[in-house]
Amino acid sequence: MFGNYLIGLREGLEASLVVCILIAYLVKTGRKDALKPIWIGIGVAVGVALAFGAGLEFGSQELTFEAQEALGGSLSVLAVGLVTWMVFWMRRTARHLKTELHGKLDAALQMGTGALVATAFLAVGREGLETALFVWASVRASSDGSYAPLAGVILGLLTAVFLGWLFYRGALKINLAKFFTWTGGMLVVVAAGVLAYGVHDLQEAGFISGLADKAFDISATIPPDSWYGTLLKGVFNFQPDPTVVQVTVWALYLIPTLALFLAPIGSGPSVRVKKQKATDEKAEAEASA
């Protein structure tokens, strides 16, 4: 449940902050007349995201078992790819998110009502579709037949809306860079479990071999129906009897992705080369002076 709560909180807060920034900018610049198109765009985006999530859930129920597993596995892999791109993008742009949105909103104000609706829809809609897809994949991966995973997502979204409201009212100051770095790191761990579960689905559908090749089986030590087994599955999508392919994919994704994500921004080789080149040029200029 915690993993799903984290997804709802992390993804929901992104959308909440986008809404807060758009609304606050219009209010502060005296353009309250433009609030209605913004809310229309936000409402349409939320509706599309909900319809997309409902389509995934109810549409997949009409398929055969193999087709369900193939669809679930493919969408899980896609969801992991999208959320990985998203956490890296947000980590780079968190400091400049407000400036970027203000620029888009200024351009939309000059173009008219339709542009305002489109700006709000695109800003919130992208977050909504990503959230719907990843939540569906994560809930499917961690579901134990109860409503706990879905309840975790809903609680996370409600918390995000409340924090967004506090942020808008000025009652809460958030260091966005640190927040998205820490939650993004935890989300990468959750995504690794979703990816492993997606690979298992593809194995059951017959797209990937090795379903019978177990890496280990500790079901006797950590029974899936025990409270700690349920906790590990809910937080990390832990499986006590994964296949060799699952463990391999999990490790190949988690280790390098987490290392790159937690590495200091601007620590890449190209950056160091540029800094060294600038230092050398400065030294040569001082020597020739």
The arithmetic mean of pLDDT across residues 118-124, rounded, is 79
Residue 271 placed within a domain = no
Give the structural domain span for 208. 1-264
Residue 194 placed within a domain = yes
Q: Mind listing the pLDDT tens digit for each residue in 74-98?
A: 888 888 888 888 788 777 766 666 6
Residue 288 placed within a domain = no
Residue 281 placed within a domain = no
Task: Give the type of residue at 263.
Answer: A
What's the rounded Cα separation, in Å, for the pair 190 and 89? 18
Q: Mind listing the pLDDT tens digit for each residue in 182-230?
A: 778 888 888 888 888 889 889 988 888 888 898 988 888 888 777 677 6
Which pLDDT score, from 0 to 100, does residue 268 have?
A: 47
How many Å separate Cα 271 from the centre of its chain?
27
The total of structural domains in the chain comes to: 1
Q: 144 falls in which pLDDT band (50, 70, 90)?
A: low
Residue 269 placed within a domain = no
Residue 287 placed within a domain = no
Residue 92 placed within a domain = yes
Residue 276 placed within a domain = no
Q: 269 falls in which pLDDT band (50, 70, 90)?
A: very low
